[in-house]
Structure 1
Amino acid sequence: MSYTPAIPLGGYAGWALLTRTRSAQMEAFVSSPTLQRDEAYFRDRIGGISTAEDLVADRRLLSVALGAFGLEADIDSKYFIRKVLEDGTLDPDALANKLADKRYLEFSKAFGFGDYATPRTKLSDFPDAILEGYKTRSFEAAVGEQSDEMRLALNAQRELAALAGRSLTDDAGWFSVMGSAPLREVFQTALGLPPAFAAIDLDQQLATFRDRAESVLGSSEISMFGDPGKIDELIRVFLVRAEAQSNSTVYSAQSTALTLLQSAGARGGLLSRLV
Protein backbone atom coordinates (compact mmCIF):
# COMPACT_ATOMS: atom_id res chain seq x y z
CA MET A 1 0.00 0.00 0.00
CA SER A 2 1.35 3.43 -0.95
CA TYR A 3 1.48 6.45 1.31
CA THR A 4 -0.95 9.21 0.30
CA PRO A 5 0.41 12.74 0.88
CA ALA A 6 -1.75 14.88 3.15
CA ILE A 7 -2.92 18.12 1.50
CA PRO A 8 -5.70 19.39 3.82
CA LEU A 9 -5.68 22.97 2.50
CA GLY A 10 -5.64 24.57 -0.92
CA GLY A 11 -3.99 27.74 -2.18
CA TYR A 12 -0.92 29.32 -0.67
CA ALA A 13 -1.90 28.24 2.86
CA GLY A 14 -1.83 24.64 1.70
CA TRP A 15 1.54 25.21 0.04
CA ALA A 16 2.99 26.62 3.26
CA LEU A 17 1.79 23.54 5.15
CA LEU A 18 3.15 21.17 2.51
CA THR A 19 6.50 22.96 2.60
CA ARG A 20 6.72 22.50 6.38
CA THR A 21 5.80 18.81 6.29
CA ARG A 22 7.34 17.77 2.97
CA SER A 23 10.48 16.10 4.36
CA ALA A 24 8.49 13.87 6.69
CA GLN A 25 5.87 13.11 4.05
CA MET A 26 8.50 12.35 1.43
CA GLU A 27 10.27 9.96 3.81
CA ALA A 28 7.01 8.12 4.49
CA PHE A 29 6.22 7.99 0.77
CA VAL A 30 9.54 6.53 -0.40
CA SER A 31 9.44 3.98 2.44
CA SER A 32 6.19 2.50 1.14
CA PRO A 33 6.38 -1.13 -0.09
CA THR A 34 5.46 -0.14 -3.66
CA LEU A 35 8.36 2.30 -4.02
CA GLN A 36 10.75 -0.10 -2.31
CA ARG A 37 9.85 -2.88 -4.76
CA ASP A 38 10.26 -0.54 -7.74
CA GLU A 39 13.68 0.53 -6.48
CA ALA A 40 14.87 -3.04 -5.89
CA TYR A 41 13.72 -4.17 -9.33
CA PHE A 42 15.39 -1.24 -11.08
CA ARG A 43 18.68 -1.70 -9.25
CA ASP A 44 18.69 -5.43 -10.00
CA ARG A 45 17.86 -5.20 -13.74
CA ILE A 46 19.03 -1.90 -15.21
CA GLY A 47 22.70 -2.90 -15.48
CA GLY A 48 21.73 -5.64 -17.93
CA ILE A 49 20.04 -3.18 -20.31
CA SER A 50 22.22 -2.40 -23.33
CA THR A 51 19.80 -0.94 -25.87
CA ALA A 52 16.68 1.20 -26.08
CA GLU A 53 14.86 -1.87 -27.37
CA ASP A 54 15.77 -3.75 -24.19
CA LEU A 55 14.43 -0.93 -22.04
CA VAL A 56 11.06 -0.50 -23.75
CA ALA A 57 10.57 -4.27 -23.69
CA ASP A 58 10.57 -4.25 -19.88
CA ARG A 59 7.48 -2.28 -18.87
CA ARG A 60 8.43 -2.17 -15.20
CA LEU A 61 11.89 -0.73 -15.89
CA LEU A 62 10.43 1.66 -18.44
CA SER A 63 7.89 2.86 -15.90
CA VAL A 64 10.66 3.89 -13.50
CA ALA A 65 12.77 5.39 -16.31
CA LEU A 66 9.92 7.54 -17.62
CA GLY A 67 8.70 8.42 -14.15
CA ALA A 68 12.11 9.87 -13.30
CA PHE A 69 11.50 12.55 -15.92
CA GLY A 70 7.78 13.08 -15.45
CA LEU A 71 7.02 11.23 -18.69
CA GLU A 72 5.07 8.32 -17.22
CA ALA A 73 2.04 9.11 -19.40
CA ASP A 74 4.08 7.88 -22.41
CA ILE A 75 4.38 4.33 -21.09
CA ASP A 76 2.37 2.90 -24.01
CA SER A 77 4.14 4.96 -26.72
CA LYS A 78 6.94 2.43 -27.09
CA TYR A 79 7.95 3.24 -30.67
CA PHE A 80 8.13 6.96 -29.89
CA ILE A 81 10.18 6.41 -26.71
CA ARG A 82 12.53 4.01 -28.48
CA LYS A 83 13.08 6.58 -31.25
CA VAL A 84 13.84 9.33 -28.71
CA LEU A 85 16.40 7.10 -27.01
CA GLU A 86 18.03 5.65 -30.12
CA ASP A 87 18.45 9.04 -31.81
CA GLY A 88 20.36 10.36 -28.81
CA THR A 89 21.07 14.07 -28.41
CA LEU A 90 24.32 14.81 -30.27
CA ASP A 91 22.79 15.10 -33.75
CA PRO A 92 20.84 18.37 -34.21
CA ASP A 93 18.29 16.36 -36.21
CA ALA A 94 17.70 13.89 -33.36
CA LEU A 95 14.05 13.64 -32.36
CA ALA A 96 14.69 14.82 -28.78
CA ASN A 97 16.27 18.02 -30.12
CA LYS A 98 13.20 18.77 -32.23
CA LEU A 99 10.63 18.31 -29.49
CA ALA A 100 9.44 21.42 -27.65
CA ASP A 101 9.26 19.53 -24.34
CA LYS A 102 12.89 19.29 -23.25
CA ARG A 103 12.18 16.54 -20.74
CA TYR A 104 12.67 14.13 -23.65
CA LEU A 105 16.09 15.62 -24.32
CA GLU A 106 17.13 15.12 -20.69
CA PHE A 107 15.69 11.61 -20.74
CA SER A 108 17.65 10.59 -23.86
CA LYS A 109 20.81 12.26 -22.59
CA ALA A 110 20.58 10.48 -19.24
CA PHE A 111 20.49 6.99 -20.80
CA GLY A 112 22.97 7.68 -23.60
CA PHE A 113 21.83 4.90 -25.93
CA GLY A 114 22.21 7.06 -29.03
CA ASP A 115 25.22 9.06 -27.85
CA TYR A 116 27.78 6.52 -26.68
CA ALA A 117 29.02 3.07 -27.68
CA THR A 118 28.39 1.98 -24.08
CA PRO A 119 25.17 3.38 -22.57
CA ARG A 120 25.13 5.03 -19.19
CA THR A 121 23.07 2.13 -17.79
CA LYS A 122 26.41 0.37 -17.29
CA LEU A 123 27.73 3.01 -14.89
CA SER A 124 27.76 2.06 -11.22
CA ASP A 125 26.10 5.29 -10.06
CA PHE A 126 23.41 5.28 -12.77
CA PRO A 127 20.66 3.65 -10.67
CA ASP A 128 21.10 6.24 -7.91
CA ALA A 129 20.69 9.15 -10.32
CA ILE A 130 17.55 7.77 -11.98
CA LEU A 131 15.95 6.58 -8.75
CA GLU A 132 16.44 9.96 -7.10
CA GLY A 133 14.45 11.54 -9.91
CA TYR A 134 11.87 8.76 -9.83
CA LYS A 135 11.20 9.15 -6.11
CA THR A 136 10.94 12.93 -6.35
CA ARG A 137 8.63 12.87 -9.37
CA SER A 138 6.54 10.03 -7.94
CA PHE A 139 5.96 12.04 -4.78
CA GLU A 140 4.96 15.04 -6.88
CA ALA A 141 2.56 12.83 -8.87
CA ALA A 142 1.03 11.55 -5.62
CA VAL A 143 0.61 15.15 -4.45
CA GLY A 144 -1.00 15.88 -7.81
CA GLU A 145 -3.70 13.32 -7.13
CA GLN A 146 -4.74 15.56 -4.23
CA SER A 147 -4.03 18.91 -5.88
CA ASP A 148 -2.70 19.47 -9.39
CA GLU A 149 -1.72 23.04 -8.45
CA MET A 150 0.52 21.74 -5.65
CA ARG A 151 2.20 19.33 -8.06
CA LEU A 152 2.85 22.16 -10.49
CA ALA A 153 4.26 24.27 -7.67
CA LEU A 154 6.62 21.49 -6.54
CA ASN A 155 7.79 20.98 -10.11
CA ALA A 156 8.36 24.72 -10.59
CA GLN A 157 10.37 24.98 -7.37
CA ARG A 158 12.65 22.13 -8.44
CA GLU A 159 12.96 23.03 -12.11
CA LEU A 160 13.61 26.72 -11.60
CA ALA A 161 16.32 26.04 -9.02
CA ALA A 162 18.01 23.71 -11.52
CA LEU A 163 17.55 26.19 -14.38
CA ALA A 164 19.14 28.98 -12.38
CA GLY A 165 22.21 26.81 -11.86
CA ARG A 166 22.80 26.26 -15.58
CA SER A 167 24.99 28.44 -17.80
CA LEU A 168 22.34 29.73 -20.18
CA THR A 169 21.66 33.00 -21.91
CA ASP A 170 18.52 34.79 -20.80
CA ASP A 171 16.78 33.87 -24.07
CA ALA A 172 17.69 30.20 -23.64
CA GLY A 173 16.39 30.26 -20.08
CA TRP A 174 13.04 31.66 -21.13
CA PHE A 175 12.79 29.20 -24.01
CA SER A 176 13.42 26.40 -21.51
CA VAL A 177 10.46 27.66 -19.48
CA MET A 178 8.33 27.93 -22.62
CA GLY A 179 9.33 24.39 -23.67
CA SER A 180 8.23 22.80 -20.40
CA ALA A 181 4.45 22.28 -20.26
CA PRO A 182 4.29 22.27 -16.41
CA LEU A 183 6.49 25.36 -16.06
CA ARG A 184 4.63 27.18 -18.83
CA GLU A 185 1.33 26.59 -17.04
CA VAL A 186 2.69 28.04 -13.80
CA PHE A 187 4.07 31.12 -15.55
CA GLN A 188 1.01 31.72 -17.71
CA THR A 189 -1.29 31.54 -14.69
CA ALA A 190 0.95 33.66 -12.45
CA LEU A 191 1.48 36.28 -15.15
CA GLY A 192 -2.19 36.42 -16.10
CA LEU A 193 -1.79 35.03 -19.63
CA PRO A 194 -4.59 33.01 -21.29
CA PRO A 195 -4.10 29.43 -22.60
CA ALA A 196 -4.42 30.69 -26.20
CA PHE A 197 -1.24 32.73 -25.61
CA ALA A 198 0.80 29.60 -26.48
CA ALA A 199 -0.39 29.80 -30.09
CA ILE A 200 1.21 33.16 -30.94
CA ASP A 201 4.67 33.72 -32.46
CA LEU A 202 7.51 32.55 -30.19
CA ASP A 203 9.32 35.88 -30.26
CA GLN A 204 6.11 37.60 -29.21
CA GLN A 205 5.69 35.09 -26.42
CA LEU A 206 9.22 35.76 -25.22
CA ALA A 207 8.69 39.52 -25.20
CA THR A 208 5.37 39.14 -23.38
CA PHE A 209 6.80 36.80 -20.74
CA ARG A 210 9.55 39.33 -20.03
CA ASP A 211 7.18 42.29 -19.88
CA ARG A 212 4.73 40.51 -17.58
CA ALA A 213 7.54 39.14 -15.36
CA GLU A 214 8.89 42.66 -14.96
CA SER A 215 5.44 43.89 -13.97
CA VAL A 216 4.51 41.04 -11.61
CA LEU A 217 7.86 39.89 -10.23
CA GLY A 218 10.00 43.00 -10.61
CA SER A 219 12.47 41.56 -13.12
CA SER A 220 12.48 40.30 -16.70
CA GLU A 221 15.64 38.23 -16.29
CA ILE A 222 15.35 34.46 -15.83
CA SER A 223 18.44 34.64 -13.60
CA MET A 224 16.25 36.18 -10.86
CA PHE A 225 15.26 32.64 -9.92
CA GLY A 226 18.74 32.10 -8.53
CA ASP A 227 17.10 33.75 -5.50
CA PRO A 228 14.82 31.17 -3.78
CA GLY A 229 12.68 34.07 -2.61
CA LYS A 230 11.79 34.87 -6.22
CA ILE A 231 10.76 31.27 -6.82
CA ASP A 232 8.52 31.40 -3.76
CA GLU A 233 7.06 34.71 -4.95
CA LEU A 234 6.20 33.17 -8.33
CA ILE A 235 4.59 30.15 -6.66
CA ARG A 236 2.60 32.37 -4.29
CA VAL A 237 1.20 34.44 -7.17
CA PHE A 238 0.49 31.27 -9.17
CA LEU A 239 -1.43 29.60 -6.33
CA VAL A 240 -3.38 32.73 -5.44
CA ARG A 241 -4.44 33.26 -9.05
CA ALA A 242 -5.18 29.57 -9.63
CA GLU A 243 -7.41 29.53 -6.53
CA ALA A 244 -9.18 32.71 -7.68
CA GLN A 245 -9.80 31.17 -11.12
CA SER A 246 -11.15 28.00 -9.52
CA ASN A 247 -13.48 29.96 -7.24
CA SER A 248 -14.64 32.04 -10.21
CA THR A 249 -15.45 28.90 -12.18
CA VAL A 250 -17.41 27.43 -9.27
CA TYR A 251 -19.29 30.72 -8.76
CA SER A 252 -20.10 30.92 -12.46
CA ALA A 253 -21.45 27.36 -12.49
CA GLN A 254 -23.54 28.00 -9.36
CA SER A 255 -24.86 31.26 -10.79
CA THR A 256 -25.87 29.53 -14.03
CA ALA A 257 -27.64 26.76 -12.12
CA LEU A 258 -29.49 29.31 -9.97
CA THR A 259 -30.59 31.25 -13.06
CA LEU A 260 -31.92 28.07 -14.67
CA LEU A 261 -33.81 27.14 -11.50
CA GLN A 262 -35.29 30.62 -11.21
CA SER A 263 -36.26 30.55 -14.88
CA ALA A 264 -37.89 27.14 -14.48
CA GLY A 265 -39.73 28.38 -11.39
CA ALA A 266 -41.00 31.44 -13.23
CA ARG A 267 -42.27 29.32 -16.11
CA GLY A 268 -43.96 26.96 -13.69
CA GLY A 269 -45.72 29.87 -11.97
CA LEU A 270 -46.90 31.24 -15.31
CA LEU A 271 -48.26 27.86 -16.37
CA SER A 272 -50.17 27.45 -13.10
CA ARG A 273 -51.85 30.84 -13.60
CA LEU A 274 -52.78 29.99 -17.20
CA VAL A 275 -54.35 26.71 -16.13
Structure 2
Amino acid sequence: MTFQPFVPFAGYSGWTFLSRTLPEQTAAFAASPALDRDMTYFRENIGAVKSADDLVGDFRLLRVALGAFGLQDDMPNKAFIRTVLAEGVSEGDALANRLADKRYRAFSEAFGFGTSLPPKSGTPGFADRILARFERQEFERAIGTQNEDMRLALTATRELPEIAERDLTNDAAWFTIMGNPPLRKIFETAFGLPSGVGGIDLDRQLKTFEERSEQVLGRSDVAQFREPEQVEELIQAYLTRSQLNSFASVNSPASIALTLLQGAV
Protein backbone atom coordinates (compact mmCIF):
# COMPACT_ATOMS: atom_id res chain seq x y z
CA MET A 1 0.00 0.00 0.00
CA THR A 2 1.26 3.47 -0.88
CA PHE A 3 1.98 5.68 2.11
CA GLN A 4 0.00 8.93 2.10
CA PRO A 5 1.73 11.82 3.93
CA PHE A 6 -0.51 13.59 6.38
CA VAL A 7 -0.76 16.65 8.59
CA PRO A 8 -3.51 16.70 11.25
CA PHE A 9 -3.83 20.45 11.78
CA ALA A 10 -3.93 23.63 9.74
CA GLY A 11 -1.76 26.67 10.38
CA TYR A 12 1.51 26.82 12.25
CA SER A 13 0.61 24.00 14.65
CA GLY A 14 0.23 21.72 11.63
CA TRP A 15 3.58 22.90 10.28
CA THR A 16 5.23 22.12 13.63
CA PHE A 17 3.87 18.57 13.47
CA LEU A 18 4.96 18.13 9.85
CA SER A 19 8.46 19.43 10.55
CA ARG A 20 8.85 17.05 13.48
CA THR A 21 7.70 13.98 11.53
CA LEU A 22 9.22 14.89 8.17
CA PRO A 23 12.12 12.37 8.18
CA GLU A 24 9.82 9.45 8.99
CA GLN A 25 7.11 10.53 6.56
CA THR A 26 9.47 11.15 3.65
CA ALA A 27 11.18 7.78 4.19
CA ALA A 28 7.83 5.96 4.21
CA PHE A 29 6.70 7.84 1.11
CA ALA A 30 9.93 7.07 -0.76
CA ALA A 31 9.30 3.35 -0.23
CA SER A 32 6.14 3.55 -2.36
CA PRO A 33 6.34 0.86 -5.10
CA ALA A 34 5.11 3.19 -7.87
CA LEU A 35 7.59 5.91 -6.94
CA ASP A 36 10.39 3.38 -6.72
CA ARG A 37 9.60 2.03 -10.21
CA ASP A 38 9.68 5.51 -11.74
CA MET A 39 12.95 6.37 -10.04
CA THR A 40 14.58 3.07 -11.01
CA TYR A 41 13.57 3.56 -14.65
CA PHE A 42 14.97 7.08 -14.68
CA ARG A 43 18.27 6.02 -13.11
CA GLU A 44 18.71 3.16 -15.59
CA ASN A 45 17.80 5.10 -18.75
CA ILE A 46 18.64 8.79 -18.38
CA GLY A 47 22.28 8.24 -19.34
CA ALA A 48 21.22 7.31 -22.87
CA VAL A 49 19.50 10.67 -23.41
CA LYS A 50 21.59 12.81 -25.77
CA SER A 51 19.09 15.44 -26.93
CA ALA A 52 15.90 17.26 -26.06
CA ASP A 53 14.05 14.99 -28.49
CA ASP A 54 15.30 11.92 -26.63
CA LEU A 55 13.94 13.21 -23.33
CA VAL A 56 10.63 14.50 -24.65
CA GLY A 57 10.11 11.26 -26.57
CA ASP A 58 10.23 9.12 -23.43
CA PHE A 59 7.06 9.65 -21.38
CA ARG A 60 8.42 8.13 -18.16
CA LEU A 61 11.71 10.00 -18.23
CA LEU A 62 9.98 13.28 -19.04
CA ARG A 63 7.47 12.82 -16.24
CA VAL A 64 10.26 12.50 -13.69
CA ALA A 65 12.30 15.33 -15.23
CA LEU A 66 9.41 17.79 -15.20
CA GLY A 67 8.23 16.63 -11.78
CA ALA A 68 11.66 17.36 -10.33
CA PHE A 69 11.12 21.04 -11.08
CA GLY A 70 7.44 21.27 -10.25
CA LEU A 71 6.49 21.46 -13.93
CA GLN A 72 4.53 18.21 -14.22
CA ASP A 73 1.45 20.05 -15.50
CA ASP A 74 3.37 20.69 -18.73
CA MET A 75 3.46 17.02 -19.73
CA PRO A 76 1.03 17.61 -22.65
CA ASN A 77 3.00 20.64 -23.92
CA LYS A 78 5.78 18.64 -25.58
CA ALA A 79 6.62 21.13 -28.33
CA PHE A 80 7.01 23.90 -25.76
CA ILE A 81 9.17 21.74 -23.47
CA ARG A 82 11.30 20.60 -26.40
CA THR A 83 12.06 24.24 -27.24
CA VAL A 84 12.84 25.12 -23.62
CA LEU A 85 15.34 22.25 -23.48
CA ALA A 86 16.82 22.48 -26.96
CA GLU A 87 17.62 26.20 -26.78
CA GLY A 88 19.35 25.85 -23.41
CA VAL A 89 20.17 28.93 -21.38
CA SER A 90 23.50 30.20 -22.74
CA GLU A 91 21.90 32.66 -25.19
CA GLY A 92 20.08 35.64 -23.74
CA ASP A 93 17.14 35.27 -26.10
CA ALA A 94 16.63 31.55 -25.36
CA LEU A 95 13.03 30.77 -24.45
CA ALA A 96 13.88 29.62 -20.93
CA ASN A 97 15.56 32.97 -20.24
CA ARG A 98 12.58 34.95 -21.53
CA LEU A 99 9.90 33.19 -19.50
CA ALA A 100 8.70 34.90 -16.32
CA ASP A 101 8.57 31.55 -14.48
CA LYS A 102 12.22 30.90 -13.60
CA ARG A 103 11.61 27.21 -12.95
CA TYR A 104 11.91 26.64 -16.71
CA ARG A 105 15.37 28.14 -16.72
CA ALA A 106 16.46 25.90 -13.85
CA PHE A 107 14.99 22.90 -15.68
CA SER A 108 16.77 23.67 -18.95
CA GLU A 109 20.04 24.53 -17.23
CA ALA A 110 20.01 21.25 -15.30
CA PHE A 111 20.02 19.16 -18.49
CA GLY A 112 22.49 21.32 -20.41
CA PHE A 113 21.19 20.96 -23.95
CA GLY A 114 21.64 23.73 -26.52
CA THR A 115 25.43 23.97 -26.36
CA SER A 116 28.37 22.35 -28.16
CA LEU A 117 29.16 20.41 -24.99
CA PRO A 118 27.70 16.99 -24.17
CA PRO A 119 24.46 17.18 -22.14
CA LYS A 120 24.66 16.78 -18.39
CA SER A 121 22.37 13.74 -18.45
CA GLY A 122 25.37 11.43 -18.79
CA THR A 123 27.54 12.97 -16.08
CA PRO A 124 28.27 11.18 -12.79
CA GLY A 125 25.69 11.90 -10.08
CA PHE A 126 23.21 13.51 -12.47
CA ALA A 127 20.46 10.94 -11.93
CA ASP A 128 20.84 11.14 -8.16
CA ARG A 129 20.52 14.95 -8.18
CA ILE A 130 17.38 14.94 -10.32
CA LEU A 131 15.82 12.08 -8.39
CA ALA A 132 16.42 13.78 -5.05
CA ARG A 133 14.45 16.76 -6.36
CA PHE A 134 11.75 14.53 -7.83
CA GLU A 135 11.27 12.56 -4.62
CA ARG A 136 10.90 15.74 -2.57
CA GLN A 137 8.58 17.36 -5.13
CA GLU A 138 6.35 14.28 -5.18
CA PHE A 139 6.15 14.33 -1.40
CA GLU A 140 5.22 18.01 -1.49
CA ARG A 141 2.52 17.32 -4.08
CA ALA A 142 1.09 14.56 -1.87
CA ILE A 143 0.98 16.92 1.11
CA GLY A 144 -0.65 19.53 -1.10
CA THR A 145 -3.64 17.29 -1.75
CA GLN A 146 -4.46 17.74 1.95
CA ASN A 147 -3.17 21.22 2.65
CA GLU A 148 -1.79 23.58 0.01
CA ASP A 149 -0.24 25.87 2.62
CA MET A 150 1.95 23.01 3.88
CA ARG A 151 3.10 22.25 0.35
CA LEU A 152 4.17 25.84 -0.17
CA ALA A 153 5.93 25.93 3.19
CA LEU A 154 7.91 22.82 2.23
CA THR A 155 8.79 24.50 -1.06
CA ALA A 156 10.19 27.47 0.84
CA THR A 157 12.42 25.30 3.03
CA ARG A 158 13.84 23.60 -0.06
CA GLU A 159 14.24 26.46 -2.53
CA LEU A 160 14.97 29.59 -0.51
CA PRO A 161 18.31 28.39 0.91
CA GLU A 162 19.35 27.34 -2.61
CA ILE A 163 18.62 30.81 -4.00
CA ALA A 164 20.32 32.49 -1.05
CA GLU A 165 23.49 30.45 -1.62
CA ARG A 166 23.74 31.23 -5.33
CA ASP A 167 26.19 33.84 -6.59
CA LEU A 168 23.52 36.46 -7.31
CA THR A 169 23.13 40.12 -6.51
CA ASN A 170 20.38 40.88 -4.03
CA ASP A 171 18.21 42.32 -6.81
CA ALA A 172 18.71 39.24 -9.00
CA ALA A 173 17.86 36.96 -6.07
CA TRP A 174 14.63 38.85 -5.42
CA PHE A 175 13.74 38.69 -9.12
CA THR A 176 14.32 34.93 -8.99
CA ILE A 177 11.90 34.65 -6.06
CA MET A 178 9.37 36.90 -7.77
CA GLY A 179 9.61 34.73 -10.90
CA ASN A 180 8.87 31.51 -9.00
CA PRO A 181 5.06 31.21 -8.61
CA PRO A 182 5.00 29.10 -5.40
CA LEU A 183 7.62 31.28 -3.67
CA ARG A 184 5.96 34.46 -4.88
CA LYS A 185 2.66 33.37 -3.35
CA ILE A 186 4.37 32.72 0.00
CA PHE A 187 5.97 36.15 0.09
CA GLU A 188 2.91 38.04 -1.13
CA THR A 189 0.78 36.39 1.56
CA ALA A 190 3.35 36.72 4.35
CA PHE A 191 3.92 40.38 3.48
CA GLY A 192 0.21 41.16 3.16
CA LEU A 193 0.60 42.39 -0.41
CA PRO A 194 -2.48 42.88 -2.63
CA SER A 195 -3.10 40.45 -5.48
CA GLY A 196 -2.51 43.20 -8.04
CA VAL A 197 1.08 43.85 -7.01
CA GLY A 198 2.28 41.67 -9.91
CA GLY A 199 0.89 44.17 -12.37
CA ILE A 200 3.09 47.10 -11.39
CA ASP A 201 6.52 47.98 -12.74
CA LEU A 202 9.17 45.36 -11.87
CA ASP A 203 11.46 47.86 -10.16
CA ARG A 204 8.56 49.03 -7.99
CA GLN A 205 7.74 45.41 -7.18
CA LEU A 206 11.33 44.84 -6.12
CA LYS A 207 11.30 47.86 -3.85
CA THR A 208 7.98 46.74 -2.34
CA PHE A 209 9.29 43.25 -1.58
CA GLU A 210 12.45 44.64 0.01
CA GLU A 211 10.54 47.15 2.14
CA ARG A 212 8.02 44.58 3.34
CA SER A 213 10.79 42.10 4.07
CA GLU A 214 12.45 44.70 6.29
CA GLN A 215 9.17 45.35 8.09
CA VAL A 216 8.09 41.71 8.55
CA LEU A 217 11.41 39.88 8.89
CA GLY A 218 13.76 42.65 10.00
CA ARG A 219 16.01 42.35 6.93
CA SER A 220 15.69 43.13 3.24
CA ASP A 221 18.41 40.86 1.83
CA VAL A 222 17.77 37.42 0.34
CA ALA A 223 20.99 36.16 1.94
CA GLN A 224 19.07 36.02 5.23
CA PHE A 225 17.48 32.77 4.03
CA ARG A 226 20.75 30.95 4.40
CA GLU A 227 19.70 30.86 8.06
CA PRO A 228 16.99 28.28 8.90
CA GLU A 229 15.62 30.63 11.55
CA GLN A 230 14.80 33.26 8.92
CA VAL A 231 13.08 30.73 6.67
CA GLU A 232 11.06 29.56 9.67
CA GLU A 233 10.07 33.12 10.52
CA LEU A 234 8.83 33.63 6.97
CA ILE A 235 6.84 30.39 7.08
CA GLN A 236 5.25 31.36 10.37
CA ALA A 237 4.24 34.74 8.93
CA TYR A 238 2.86 33.06 5.81
CA LEU A 239 0.85 30.40 7.63
CA THR A 240 -0.52 32.83 10.19
CA ARG A 241 -1.70 35.32 7.60
CA SER A 242 -3.01 32.62 5.27
CA GLN A 243 -5.09 31.15 8.08
CA LEU A 244 -6.41 34.59 9.01
CA ASN A 245 -7.30 35.27 5.38
CA SER A 246 -9.17 31.96 5.12
CA PHE A 247 -10.98 32.63 8.38
CA ALA A 248 -11.95 36.14 7.32
CA SER A 249 -13.29 34.95 3.95
CA VAL A 250 -15.96 32.82 5.62
CA ASN A 251 -16.76 34.97 8.64
CA SER A 252 -18.17 38.41 9.14
CA PRO A 253 -16.16 41.03 11.06
CA ALA A 254 -18.60 40.69 13.96
CA SER A 255 -18.19 36.92 14.24
CA ILE A 256 -14.39 37.25 14.03
CA ALA A 257 -14.40 39.75 16.88
CA LEU A 258 -16.69 37.51 18.94
CA THR A 259 -14.46 34.49 18.37
CA LEU A 260 -11.36 36.45 19.38
CA LEU A 261 -13.09 37.70 22.53
CA GLN A 262 -14.21 34.21 23.44
CA GLY A 263 -10.70 32.92 22.89
CA ALA A 264 -9.31 35.63 25.13
CA VAL A 265 -11.79 34.75 27.88
Normalising by structure 1, we get a TM-score of 0.89
**Correspondence for 1:266:** none
Deviation at 1:240, TM superposition (A): 0.4
Corresponding residue for residue 47 of structure 2: 47
Q: Unmatched 5+ residue regions in structure 1?
A: 256-275
Structure 2 counterpart SS, 1:251: coil
Q: Hey, what's the Cα distance between the residues in 2 that align with 1:237 and 1:192? A: 10
| Residue aligning to 1:79 | 79
Question: Aligned equivalents of 1:202 and 1:117: distance in 2?
Answer: 35
CA distance in 1, matches of 2:97, 2:33: 37
SS at 2:5 equivalent? coil
1:35-54 CA-to-partner distances (Å, cap 9, x unmatched) read: 11001111122122111111
1:27-71 superposed Cα distances (whole Å, 9 cap, x missing partner): 000111011100111112212211111111111110000001111
Please give the alpha-carbon distance, in whole angstroms, between the structure 1 residues aligned to 2:165 and 2:123: 25
Matched, 1:32 2:32: yes
Question: Could you list the per-position Cα deviations for residues 98-152 of structure 1 after superposition, in whole angstroms to 9, with x for gaps in the alignment?
Answer: 1111111111111112124321112232111111110011111111111110010
Distance in structure 1 (CA, Å) of the matches to 2:223 and 2:173: 8
Looking at structure 2, the residues matched to 177 and 116 of structure 1 have their Cα atoms a distance apart, in angstroms, of 30
1:64-85 deviation line (CA, Å, top 9, x unaligned): 0000111111111100000000
Partners of 1:40 and 1:224 lie apart in 2 by 37
Equivalent position amino acid for 2:64 in 1? V
Return the letter of the residue paired with 1:140: E
**Aligned twin of 1:167:** 167
Greater than 6 Å deviation, 4+ residue runs: none
For the pair shown, the structure with the greater C-alpha radius of gyration is: 1
CA contact (8 A) 1:109 1:115 kept: no
Per-residue CA distance 1:175-206 (angstroms, 9 max, x = gap): 11111111110000000001111111111111
Q: Which residue of 2 aligns with 1:120?
A: 120
After superposition, the C-alpha distances for 1:237-266 in whole angstroms (9 at most, x for unaligned) are 0000001111111225xx9xxxxxxxxxxx
Relative to the length of structure 2, the TM-score reads 0.93
Q: What amino acid sits opposite 2:90 in the alignment?
A: L
The count of aligned residue pairs is 253
Q: Residues 3-152 of structure 1 correspond to what in structure 2 (within 5 A)?
A: 3-152=3-152
Structure 2 gap ranges (5+): 256-265
SS of 2:17's partner is: helix
Identity of aligned residues (%): 51
RMSD: 1.2
